[in-house]
Amino acid sequence: MDFSETCEQSHLYREVEIPFSFAEIFFSRTDTRGKIQSGNEVFQRISGYSWGELAGRPHNIIRHEGVPRAVFWLLWDRLKKGLQTGAYVKNKSRDGRFYWVYAIITPCEGGFLSVRIKPGSAVFAVVQAEYASLVRMETEEGLPPAESAARLMARLAALGFESYDAFMAASLSAEFSGREEKLQRQPRQTLTLYERLMPSAARLLAAARRISEGYLTYRFVPLNLLVHAGQIGDAGAAIATISTNYNTLSEEIEQGLDGFMDAARTVSNTINVGAFLLATSYVQQEIASSFRQEAAMEGVDHEKESDYLDQQQAIYQEEALKSLTGIEKELQAFFRNASEMKRLASGLAAIRVMGKVESGRLSVAAVKDLIADLEAFQDIVQNGLSDILQTNDALRAGTLRLLEAYATEAA
């Protein structure tokens, strides 16, 4: 075969997608190493393999090269830590055709359970493009999976996802809600409310981060002010007092910042994890009931598998509720941290006023500049805090509504 022929053939090559409906839902269960132990008819049929060919085989039997190695690296990294994981996966059937799924993989007794739905949201479109460019980088640059995973995380951050948990929450709730709509089902009020909490949580975190970064930018101001006060001599006595106070306050701010940021991150994470767990429990509920109605497949103990699914569903329902009730507690912890910041911020405001009066009186350029920096920092803290307090109120009200909706749904 000559070169032009190869080119022509590859040019003509088109991947073929296997059609399946939004109503179809797959599951497979593996051992701890990812070897297939069980599954349902939808999984078997769409894979194109017989059950005998799938049973006991590693799950990469349906691996498609269009999924970056980074994704599986991340998946296994999380699974080994016992963390539930959501990911878009492109699979290859026995005859070489492909199909995309959104997989929710959770640790279960003796291994892992993967439940998969058909994706179709706007997030999915973005992810497909990201996967394509990551696969190219992995191939062309020989990027090892761990480094590639770091790039994926950086890309997700650039797209506005604070963490993989934030990406999972946004992607699963988009896929879940989109699918419910396509299936003409009533939207789940609980998830709609979670979807509203997620941007508020991200906003809270962003405001806390602005304060923290502001501190880093201006952290040498009090010390520099102290040095200048020393150089001015007696005339700078008042500035010396101001800078000493400012220095003490700055140290207090520094000590409080780690806890403040941690508390903001915990609030955001609890909301993201809670949304993911809740949607997971809904999807697991659906597979548990649809599997009961499926005809038994030779080689799969239908009764035992149904029990497995029920058990997993019950565990995740409980986990989802735990996360949901945890939000309020984490918000309170964050509020305590934010109130402490507020106390420190009012100290800053007082120093700012005194500093401005003194620097006006002294008219020393360097002192003026430093006081201007102090003003800039105080503005960052003040604006950040007012944004935080507003967002905190919105989060509290939203969490209450969510708890009510959950209770109504459970009743």
Ligand X SMILES: Cc1cc2nc3c(=O)[nH]c(=O)nc-3n(C[C@H](O)[C@H](O)[C@H](O)COP(=O)(O)O)c2cc1C
Q: Which residue has the tokens 């009012």?
A: 346
| Residues contacting residue 276 through CB under 8 Å, at least 6 positions apart | 84, 86, 165, 168, 169, 172, 173
Taking CB under 6 A as the binding criterion, the range among 59-67, 125-133, 303-311, 358-366 that sits at the site for ligand X is 59-67
Out of 25, 30, 46, 54, point to the residue binding ligand X (CB under 6 A).
Answer: 30
Taking CB under 6 A as the binding criterion, the range among 56-64, 202-210, 284-292, 378-386 that sits at the site for ligand X is 56-64
Q: Is 89 an interacting residue with respect to ligand X (CB under 6 A)?
A: yes
Q: Is 59 an interacting residue with respect to ligand X (CB under 6 A)?
A: yes
Report the b/e string of 130-149 with b at 16+ CB within 10 A. bbeebbebbeeeebebeebb
Identify which of residues 145 and 384 has a Cβ nearer to ligand X in the complex: 145
Provide, rounded to whole angstroms, the least separation between the CB of residue 153 and ligand X: 18
304: β partners: none
User: What is the Cα–Cα distance from 163 to 203, expressed in whole angstroms?
Assistant: 14
Q: Which of 293, 85, 296 lies closest to 172 in space, CA to CA?
A: 85
CA dihedral 286, 290, 296, 299 (to 10 degrees): -20
Taking CB under 6 A as the binding criterion, the range among 57-65, 195-203, 235-243, 307-315 that sits at the site for ligand X is 57-65
Q: Is 148 an interacting residue with respect to ligand X (CB under 6 A)?
A: no
Identify which of residues 39 and 355 has a Cβ nearer to ligand X in the complex: 39
Q: Is 115 an interacting residue with respect to ligand X (CB under 6 A)?
A: no
Out of 63, 94, 203, 302, point to the residue binding ligand X (CB under 6 A).
Answer: 63
DSSP letters spanning 126-170: HHHHHHHHHHHHHHHH---HHHHHHHHHHHHHHTT-SSHHHHHHH
Out of 4, 60, 184, 293, point to the residue binding ligand X (CB under 6 A).
Answer: 60
Contact 267, 206 (CB under 8 A): no
Q: Is 105 an interacting residue with respect to ligand X (CB under 6 A)?
A: yes
Provide, rounded to whole angstroms, the least separation between the CB of residue 281 and ligand X: 17
Which residues lie near ligand X (CB under 6 A)? Answer: 28, 30, 34, 59-60, 62-63, 72, 89, 91, 103, 105, 112, 114
